[in-house]
Structure 1
Amino acid sequence: MTSIRSIDPSIIVDPGTASALLSGRKTQVRVGVRSVLSRSLPGDRLWVRESCIAGRREAGQDYATMLGKAEFAIFADGWRRYRDGSGQPGRRPGDDDYEWIAATHMPRWASRMTLVVEWTRAERLQQITRPDIRAEGALPILGGLLWRWPRPIPGRHLTARRAFAANWNVNHPTPGDRWEDNPPVIVLGFRVESIQPR
C-alpha cells in the first residue's frame, strides 16, 4: 500500500467530533476503501478541518472579517487559532450574522489539531465492536441504556450499533456505502496532537 504523506491529507469534522477529539474520546475513524485516507499508514499525519469564522482584532475588539484579512480563526467552542500558530480560548460565537467558513475552505494555518495514524486494519463495516463505537466518539447515556453522538448530531439510540449505523448513513448515503451494505472499510487508530490544552 502506498502512503498518503505526499498529498498533505486532511479530515473534516463537525464541532461535536472536534470536541470528542480534543477530549481524547475519539481515537478511531473508519473510511471507505475508495477514500484517499484508506491509504494511510502508521506515522501519517492528517490535519483536521473545521468550520470557523475569520477574525481580526482592532482596538481591543474581535471582529469577523474576510478570510484573506483574517488574523485568526474562531471555532464553535470559542478557541482562537492565530496565523503564527498560537491559540487561546475565547467567547463562543453568538452572533447569527457571522459568516461561517465551511470546513472544506478552512485554511491550513487555522488547523488546531493533527491526527497521527498509529495503526490501521481492514474489515467490514458491521464488524465494529462496542469498544470501537466508543472509540469512534459515541456516548453512552443512562448507564448505557441509550447512546448518542456529540452534538450537534441529533438523536438517541437503544444500542451503540444503532447509533453508529444512523450516524454512518448520514455521512454515507450512497448505495454500496451504507451500513446495511456492509462495505469494506479501513480503520485508522490515531493520537491527537493539538495546540489546545485538554
Structure 2
Amino acid sequence: MADRQILFSAPMIRALLDGRKTQTRRVVGKRGGRSRPNIFDGTWADSYVLDPGNVSWREDSTPWKAGDRLQVREACAIDGNRVFYRARHEEASARGPRVDVRWRPSIHMPRWASRLTLIVTDVRVQRLQDISETDAIAEGLQPHEAPNGHVTYEVPGAVLGQTPERGFQALWSLINGDDAWAENPWVAAISFDVVKANIDSLPAEREAV
C-alpha cells in the first residue's frame, strides 16, 4: 500500500466531483518492445510487461493495489493562496467573467493544492473491450433521456453512444485516437472511493512514494 499520484482531465474531474466516476482504466503492457503511453483521462503512465497466461501475476504486476491512496492532480491556476480549478471554472466553460489566471497543466499541480483523494478498493487486469455495462457507467458516463424516451450516454458536451459500452468506446477513442479501441490493450481497471479532501488532511497510514 502506498500514496501515489494520478492525473485526470476536466470532464473526468467533474465526474469525480459529481459522484459519477468510481473507476478508471490505465493501459499496461508493451507493444513491439516499446512502452505504450496511457493518455486516457489526459495522463501518462509507465507500461508494465504482462504474462497473458497468468492472471494473478498480471494483477500483481501493476503499481496500484487495494488500500493505496491516489492524490488527484488536475489543471489549475494559483494566485497566492487561492486555487482556481479549471474543471469547475466559469472561464473553462466560456460563461461568466474572465479571470486573468495562468492555467497549469495537471502534471504541475502542487500537492498542497489537490482537493481530491482516491482510496483504491480493487484492481483488475483485463482486456479493454471486456468492460461490462456496469463498469462503463462507473467510468463516469452520464445517461441522458430525451423527451421521446431515447437514452444516450455522454460526458458534458459530448454524446458518446446509445449503450454504456458504446459510450465508453467513443470516449476512449476520442481521447486516445481512432485506432485505440481496436488495439484492445491490457488495462488495469482501478475501482476507488472518492474523498473530497487533500491527501495530507487524511490520517497518514503509509509512506508516500
Please show how residues 9-20 of structure 1 align to structure 2 within 5 Å: 9-20=4-15
How many residues end up aligned between the 2 structures?
161
User: Does 1:173 pair with 2:177?
Assistant: yes
**Cα RMSD (Å):** 2.6
The TM-score with structure 1 as length reference comes to 0.71
Runs of 4+ in 1 over 4 A off after TM superposition: none
Out of 72, 76, 80, the residue aligned to residue 52 of structure 1 is 76
Separation in 2, partners of 1:45, 1:94: 36
What residue is the counterpart of 1:100 in the other structure?
A: 103
Separation in 2, partners of 1:100, 1:93: 17
**Distance change in 2, residues 1:98/1:26 (3 Å):** same
What residue is the counterpart of 2:18 in the other structure?
A: 23
CA offset digits 1:131-150 (Å, max 9, x no partner): 1011000011116621101x
The TM-score with structure 2 as length reference comes to 0.68
Q: SS of 2:165's equivalent? A: helix
Shift of 1:107: 0.8
- Whether the aligned pair in 1 keeps the contact of 2:117 and 2:197 (CA below 8 Å) is no
The residue type equivalent to 2:154 in the other structure is R
What residue is the counterpart of 1:157 in the other structure?
A: 161
What residue is the counterpart of 1:145 in the other structure?
A: 151
Shift of 1:98: 2.6
What residue is the counterpart of 1:190 in the other structure?
A: 192
- Whether the aligned pair in 2 keeps the contact of 1:53 and 1:98 (CA below 8 Å) is yes
CA offset digits 1:31-64 (Å, max 9, x no partner): 1114449420011111111111212xxxxxxxxx
Q: Which runs of 5+ in 2 are unaligned?
A: 30-44, 48-61, 90-94, 199-209
What residue is the counterpart of 1:73 in the other structure?
A: 83
Q: SS of 2:194's equivalent? A: strand
Out of 107, 121, 132, the residue aligned to residue 135 of structure 2 is 132
Shift of 1:112: 0.3
CA offset digits 1:45-97 (Å, max 9, x no partner): 11111111212xxxxxxxxxxxxxx212111325xxxxxxxxxxxxx984164
Q: Which runs of 5+ in 1 are unaligned?
A: 56-69, 79-91
- Whether the aligned pair in 1 keeps the contact of 2:160 and 2:170 (CA below 8 Å) is no
**Distance change in 2, residues 1:119/1:156 (3 Å):** closer
Q: SS of 1:39's equivalent? A: coil
CA offset digits 1:109-167 (Å, max 9, x no partner): 10001111111111111111111011000011116621101x35x33422222221121
Percent same amino acid among aligned pairs?
35
What residue is the counterpart of 1:39 in the other structure?
A: 63
